[in-house]
């Protein structure tokens, strides 16, 4: 779409001068002002913008925190407390950063589920989807390393458990773990390299976000009908239509964010992380941050050996597999219809999948004993069946509902056709 | 879609409730409990709870007195500086006098000697033991934890579905509730057949086991209050818990005050942006 011609016309002398040398204003104009977006996008489509602003917020608060933070095991915990007590508005920065990470994940999960619901991964958007999964992976690495920095009990033991996963792999496992740790156990070298990487990865995320947005602007956005844009009446210009809608959603999201920062700043964290790390005292239950809980549940669900694969390696493979499988989604879904709106059975299984993911999250916070183990095994099974069986098979056997011919038709049908004056559809261009 | 969603929600709730019930039944043997604490703390009412919560300075001063006269012989509070006590309503001179009650190790001086001097407001509360090993050795093998963050470092799990309601009721006082419950929870007799390890004391509210190394630290009438507040175990426990919350979260009041302004701004701003959005989209069916 934006592969088409640019509609930017530099008006002043300076703009012409710049445009002839480095057409940056043209790029911005074409990407964020004239860029056509489907007119029927709903609020589920606002989370991309929310994610962008959360990344900026994490980087800004993070850079200031890093000015006061000391990445040595003997200083880290107290330096964070110094931020909380003595640095001007330090408590605000730190709570923004810690809760911001959680909100970032809230947004990314909604964004990913949105993609799964509306079939956003289907051709020609496979690379767009894969870049998204890479961003998600980088976010997980960043958040994991960030959580180690305050050097509390959960920082230390979380790092010990998670880096321990790698030892499950034969031969290469131990060297990988030692490389991550910078030694044989979590210690000062670990903290230093995690800080370095925690500073670096968000900028790599920003780089991949640029590729993600670039890919988006080549293929254009999907929309709730899943039908590609066919004519000019199907779209509205990004500004003001999408800008104001995204802006409204962002403010609402900030209300949620602020609620946690100011009223429940420790709700999403673990109390044990207010105890300084102690390598001699293992906490009763080591639990990761809430956003990793579904994967943690799948890891612990594998309590049995499968042939030569022991339960530990099996668990780790299941956990990595649960993320790796996302890369294959564009090719696992065989349906010709993109959006779940027109796929009654897929819609049902999709919502079951959402419930399953939430259930897994809750199970991840429970001790791995008794009924919880069986429940986690069932939930893990459904997770994989959804991708490996339901997606490919359903696409072949499901009878979709009748699709509208175009976005415009769908929209006008919804607003009861005749109620909209004919001129209205053309209005966007004259306004844009 | 709505019917599917409601169906799913009911299904999910059903499954969770059954499992929850099954689990509740699993906790059987009274003498050998496997889940701690044995008793959940009661939810007390605190002046600093809720969106407009503020500390009660009189209470914090009483709590400080309890800490100084009782707990500080075992528990350190390394991250709290004397200067911050001004937030409890003391004047600069009072803080100076209070700091001077303590002897602080300093040095080395020009001769290379360590020396002891009177405390000044920028000093931190000195620790009763030279190190953790010494603290553990004097307390039956368990070092008394530092108090700077104890009110945020302990929270008894609330369980499903309470933990969801907590978001809406803004319940963030699990720490002080726990400390209050622990201090007032000593005089129970252990159930028949329960073995209490030598040198530990039964307390059903202890988060990590059936008994802990701390003996009942405080009882009725032990600390004199000069503001007429009741000199009871319950009152002492309340006051010291509130004081420890302040020690862990000294900027709580500023946080909630700022929060209110931010929320008011965001809600008004959201309203305005919504009106603009309505206006912009008014002529476009979508
Ligand atoms: C993708 C964006 C980022 C995410 C998801 C993220 C996540 C986190 C998390 C979960 C913590 C632990 C918070 C806590 O419990 O205290 C943390 C801490 C920290 N982060 Fe980040 N972070 C991001 C970006 C950055 C950047 C760009 C910087 C620095 C330039 C940074 C610097 C720090 C520092 C110094 C800490 C330790 C202080 C503290 O614990 O509050 N972060 N981060």
Which ligand 1 atom lies nearest to the CA of residue A104?
Answer: 5
Candidates A241, A252, A425; nearest CB to B280 = A241
Question: Which pTM was predicted?
Answer: 0.92
Rounded to two decimals, the ipTM of the complex is 0.91
**Ligand 1 centroid distance, CA of A148 (Å):** 9
**Residue pLDDT, tens place only, B115-127:** 999 999 999 999 9
Candidates A245, A254, A262; nearest CB to B255 = A262
Candidates B12, B248, B266; nearest CB to A258 = B266
pLDDT at B22: 52
Residue B83 has pLDDT above 80, yes or no: yes
CATH number at residue B226: 1.10.760.10
Burial class (CB in 10 A: 0-12, 13-18, 19+), A23: middle
Residue B95 included in any domain? no
Across B64-82, average pLDDT: 98
Q: Which of A244, A352, A361, A366 to mutate to test the interface with B (most CBs of B within 10 A)?
A: A244
Cα–Cα dist B39/B184, whole Å:
12
Q: How many CB pairs below 8 Å do chains A and B form together? A: 129
- Pair B15, B7: CB distance under 8 Å: no
Residue B121 included in any domain? no
Measured between beta carbons, the chain B residues lying within 8 angstroms of A420 are 285
Counting as low any pLDDT under 70, the low residues of chain A are 1-4, 416-432
Is residue B245 a known part of a binding site?
Answer: no
Q: Is the CB of A101 under 6 A from ligand 1?
A: yes
Domain coverage including residue B203? 57-76+127-264
Is residue A270 a known part of a binding site?
Answer: no
Residue B252 included in any domain? yes
Q: Is the CB of A146 under 6 A from ligand 1?
A: yes
Lowest mean pLDDT: which of A2-16, A240-254, B18-32, B204-218?
A: B18-32
Measured between beta carbons, the chain A residues lying within 8 angstroms of B175 are 271
Cα–Cα dist A373/A355, whole Å:
17
Which helix (H) or strand (E) segment is A383 a member of?
helix A371-385
Distance (Å) from the C-alpha of residue B175 to the closest C-alpha of chain A? 9
Inter-CA distances, B50 with A259, B153, B167, B170, B172, Å: 12, 20, 11, 6, 8
Residue B282 included in any domain? no
Residue B260 included in any domain? yes
Residue B224 included in any domain? yes
ω into B256 cis (within 30 of 0): no
Q: Whose CA is nearest to atom 25 of ligand 1?
A: A62
**Ligand 1 centroid distance, CA of A66 (Å):** 9
- Pair A96, A84: CB distance under 8 Å: no
Across B129-145, average pLDDT: 95
Using 50, 70 and 90 to split pLDDT, how confident is the model at B18? low
ω into B37 cis (within 30 of 0): yes
- Pair B206, B142: CB distance under 8 Å: no
Distance (Å) from the C-alpha of residue A262 to the closest C-alpha of chain B? 5
Helices and strands: H and E segment counts in chain B: 9, 4
pLDDT at A408: 94
How far is C-alpha B211 from the geometric centre of its chain's CA atoms? 20
Burial class (CB in 10 A: 0-12, 13-18, 19+), A288: buried
Token pair in block for residue B258: 């700022």
**Ligand 1 centroid distance, CA of B145 (Å):** 27
Residue A100 sits at the vertex; the CA angle it makes with A98 and A252, to the nearest 5 degrees, is 145
Residue A122 φ then ψ, to 5° = -75, 160
Cα–Cα dist A314/A54, whole Å:
35
Token pair in block for residue A2: 């934006």
Domain count, chain B: 1
Residue B233 included in any domain? yes
Distance (Å) from the C-alpha of residue A88 to the closest C-alpha of chain B? 11
Using 50, 70 and 90 to split pLDDT, how confident is the model at B34? confident
The residue count for chain A = 432
**Ligand 1 centroid distance, CA of A97 (Å):** 6
Residue B4 included in any domain? no
CB contact (8 A) between residue A248 and residue B273:
yes
Residue A298 sits at the vertex; the CA angle it makes with A187 and A199, to the nearest 5 degrees, is 40
Q: Could you tell which of A198, A260, A267 is best to mutate to test the pocket of ligand 1, judged by most ligand atoms within 8 Å of the CB? A: A198
Q: What domains, with CATH codes, occur in chain A?
A: 31-268+285-415 (1.20.810.10)
Cα–Cα dist B124/B104, whole Å:
9
pLDDT at B79: 98
Cα–Cα dist A125/A132, whole Å:
11
């Amino acid at each position: 779409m934006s592969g088409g011609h640019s509609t930017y016309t530099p008006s002043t002398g300076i703009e012409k001068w710049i445009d002839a040398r480095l057409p940056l204003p043209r790029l911005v104009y074409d990407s964020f002002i004239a860029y056509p977006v489907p007119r029927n996008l709903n609020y589920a489509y606002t989370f991309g913008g929310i994610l962008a602003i959360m990344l900026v917020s994490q980087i800004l608060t993070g850079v200031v925190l890093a000015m006061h933070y000391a990445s040595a095991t003997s200083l880290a915990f107290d330096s964070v407390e110094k931020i909380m007590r003595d640095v001007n508005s330090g408590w605000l920065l730190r709570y923004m950063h810690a809760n911001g990470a959680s909100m970032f994940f809230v947004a990314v999960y909604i964004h990913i589920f949105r993609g799964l619901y509306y079939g956003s991964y289907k051709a020609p958007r496979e690379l767009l989807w894969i870049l998204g999964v890479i961003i998600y992976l980088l976010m997980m690495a960043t958040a994991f390393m960030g959580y180690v920095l305050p050097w509390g009990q959960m920082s230390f033991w979380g790092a010990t458990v998670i880096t321990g996963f790698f030892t499950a792999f034969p031969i290469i496992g131990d060297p990988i773990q030692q490389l991550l740790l910078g030694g044989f156990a979590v210690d000062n070298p670990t903290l230093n390299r995690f800080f370095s990487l925690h500073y670096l990865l968000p900028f790599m995320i920003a780089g991949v976000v640029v590729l993600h947005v670039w890919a988006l602007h080549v293929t254009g956005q999907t929309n709730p009908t899943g039908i590609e844009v066919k004519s000019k009446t199907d779209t509205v210009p990004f500004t003001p239509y999408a800008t104001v809608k995204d802006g409204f959603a962002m403010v609402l999201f900030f209300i949620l964010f602020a609620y946690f920062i100011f009223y429940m700043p420790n709700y999403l964290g673990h109390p044990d992380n207010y105890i300084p790390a102690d390598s001699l005292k293992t906490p009763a239950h080591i639990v990761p941050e809430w956003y990793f809980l579904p994967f943690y549940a799948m890891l612990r669900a594998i309590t049995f050996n499968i042939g030569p694969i022991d339960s530990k390696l099996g668990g780790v493979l299941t956990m990595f597999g649960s993320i790796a499988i996302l890369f294959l989604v564009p090719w696992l879904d065989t349906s010709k219809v993109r959006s779940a709106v027109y796929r009654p059975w897929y819609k049902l299984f999709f919502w079951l999948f959402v419930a399953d993911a939430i259930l897994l999250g809750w199970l991840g916070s429970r001790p791995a004993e008794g009924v919880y183990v069986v429940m986690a095994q069932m939930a893990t099974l459904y997770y994989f069946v959804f991708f490996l069986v339901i997606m490919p098979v359903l696409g072949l056997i499901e009878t979709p509902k009748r699709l509208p011919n175009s976005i415009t038709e769908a929209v006008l049908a919804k607003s009861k056709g005749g109620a909209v004056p004919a001129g209205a559809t053309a209005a966007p261009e004259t306004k844009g | 879609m709505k019917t599917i969603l409601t169906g799913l929600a009911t299904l999910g709730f059903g499954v969770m409730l059954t499992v929850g019930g099954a689990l509740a039944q699993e906790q059987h043997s009274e003498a050998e409990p496997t889940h701690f604490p044995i008793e959940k703390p009661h939810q007390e009412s605190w002046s600093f709870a809720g969106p407009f919560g503020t500390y009660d300075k009189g209470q914090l001063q009483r709590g400080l007195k309890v800490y100084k006269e009782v707990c500080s012989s075992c528990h350190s509070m390394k991250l709290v500086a004397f200067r911050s006590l001004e937030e409890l309503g003391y004047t600069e001179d009072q803080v100076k006098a209070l700091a001077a009650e303590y002897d602080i190790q300093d040095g080395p001086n020009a001769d290379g000697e360590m020396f002891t001097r009177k405390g000044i407001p920028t000093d931190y509360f000195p620790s009763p033991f030279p190190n953790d090993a010494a603290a553990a050795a004097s307390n039956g093998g368990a070092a008394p934890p530092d108090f700077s963050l104890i009110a945020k470092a302990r929270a008894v799990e609330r369980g499903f579905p309470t933990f969801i309601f907590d978001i809406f009721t803004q319940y963030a006082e699990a720490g002080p509730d726990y400390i209050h419950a622990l201090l007032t929870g000593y005089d129970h007799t252990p159930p028949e057949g329960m073995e209490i390890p030598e040198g530990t004391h039964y307390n059903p509210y202890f988060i990590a086991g059936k008994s802990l190394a701390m003996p009942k630290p405080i009882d009725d009438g032990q600390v004199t209050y000069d503001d007429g507040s009741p000199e009871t175990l319950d009152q002492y426990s309340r006051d010291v818990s509130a004081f420890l919350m302040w020690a862990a979260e000294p900027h709580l009041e500023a946080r909630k005050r700022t929060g209110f302004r931010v929320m008011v701004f965001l809600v008004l701003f959201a309203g305005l942006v919504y009106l603009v959005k309505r206006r912009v989209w008014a002529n476009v069916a979508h």
